[in-house]
Structure 1
Amino acid sequence: MYDDEEESPNKSKLGCFIKILIALIVVAGVGYFGWWYFQKTQDDRAWENALRNNNVAGYEKYMRDRPDGRYVEAARTVIGRIKQRMAELEKKKAAEAKKAAEAKKKKSSAAVSAARDNLAWNKAITENSIGGYEDYLSSFPEGKFVKQAEAVIANLKRAAKEKENPAVKAFEKAKETGTIEALETFLGEFPDSEQAPEANQELEKLKEAKRAPIIKNEEGVAAYTVGKYEEALKAFEESAGKGYAPGIFNMGLVHERGSGVDADPAKAAEWYKKAAELGDPDAQVNYGHMLEGGEGVEKNVTEAATWYAKAAEQGHGLGQYNLGVLHARGEGVEKDLNRALELFQSAADNGVESAVDSVTLIEKLVPKTKPADVIKP
């Protein structure tokens, strides 16, 4: 029994010791967790401050204050990126600064070069000689006034050549005029000149060009005469296309008559007008006739009289007769029997048979003037 009582206190002591040990472990655990949580919170706050500043100094401060922090490696990585980006920016700034400096230098150099260019050009202008302009081209092959210099040199050389040989200038003028008459005049003045062969070639080209529409029109007339209207129409079109008045007139005629094409008074009037404007008297009469009757065009007797008058001035019998009729009637023009009589007489002289009877009729209507019976001093 004693032994049991002796063991009981020992067990009680062991139980107390275990409880105390457990309590100490719990307290230590709680304390460690508190310390750990505090350190984590401090670490997180320090890292948030570094992120908020987002610069090298901020991340380095975090690493100094928290050398064992959870974000040390991340801080090193971010610092490396920031430094790399800063290095790239510095490099870019340096490149831009260098580029700006080079541009400024180039601009300054260009300004100096332009000034020298202007100075050299003014010197060439003052001297105004072939040699002076050639010196400019030699010194400034890509200068601002290269084209002007080349043009002036060409003009000076041409002037010098013309001074030595007047045929050069005369030929240039004849070519510029571009007419048969101009070239014939040149050949008459300089038949043995160096330019004469070329002048003859140019003259032959012009004569051939002038003959071409005439020949085509003649081919059209020949085809028309034997009833080959389609062939005639094609030839007349080619002749008219080259501005030959008779060819244009014939285009009007075939459209008026409907030869090889459908009759079309409007188109006929268009063709007649074109030929009339070129001075063809037949076209002037035909266009006037269409205006007078309102065929293919709006009726306009006054304008018809104008075209009859143009033909009459060229001695066209029908133009004279038709204008005389209008004067006799007082249509489109002032009624004037005396003028009508003059026109009918001219038309009769030009072979218009109807005009003979008109003359007789008008003579009966127009009173004869009394001869002068006053003694002349």
Structure 2
Amino acid sequence: MLFSALLAMATPLAATPERFYEPEFSAEAGAVFAAANETSAEDTRAALEALAREGDVSALEVLGEIHMFGHGAIARDPARGCDYFEQVGDRRADSLHNLASCYWNGDGRAQDYPKARALYRKAAEAGWRMSFCAYGKMLLLGQGGAADAAEGIRLCRMTALLGDKHALADYGTFLLTGQGVERDPVTARFMLERAAEQDQPNAAFLLGQIHSKGDGTPVDPATAAQWFEKAWDGGRSDAAEQVAASYLRLGYIQQDDERVTLKPAYLRKARSWYEKALAAERPGSERHGKIAALIPTITSLIADAEGSGGD
């Protein structure tokens, strides 16, 4: 099978699954999850825990996910989410991966790289697609054990070639930075585009940086803005300032003879995005202060451009 052949090219894990693990959820657990927006947190939790007591392991996974990320009336509670993943144990590969992430991120559990590494490997052995590159990254970086860059790269490359968006983003990053592999910004961009097309926000953010800096492609602030906006839509709050900076470059154009051309439409977009960036920063922080000081300057530029008849 294709999977077995690719795995043989990568690191020899303790077991070679014949196919990737496909998570299944009971109809009952799915119905409770779907109704969570119209149900109290207590009722949602009680219904799922009742299903779990009856042997529905998928209900425990749902409980872990909705507490880890927040859903409906249930507020985000990472520690409780990790508790539910731990209750599942090795009965679900996705729960193993999620518990590994608790330890890797230090979110809901004290950060513990050796535990994360062991759990990612175990989830990969059980066939969870995302775990191969998660484990591979730890090999590459030497987190939680000895480094093995070659094996780590092979695991991420393998899963990227199979289309996993997170592996595409990670492998694209390694190609972009030359970490563990020869630097190749053109192939990196291809990998990152495949990931961003699947709404992977980190890949979209990196694509914004690539087009902003002209790394392996011409400098293109308009395209950079589009990718940064996609990253923002995917949850990267730090992308707002980058969107704003891209529009500012389009709206404030300094000619070779030092004359300046102002484009008020782009400047208005820049101001709007700087306002979003300001709201995402902690009041009193250095970044908050710098952005707050920049907005009136852009407002003044807009007035100058409109007063001179700019478009």
Q: Return the TM-score normalized by structure 1.
A: 0.38
Larger helix percent: 1
Q: Return the TM-score normalized by structure 2.
A: 0.46
Larger Rg: 1
Q: Which has the higher contact order (CA 8 A, sep 6+)?
A: 2
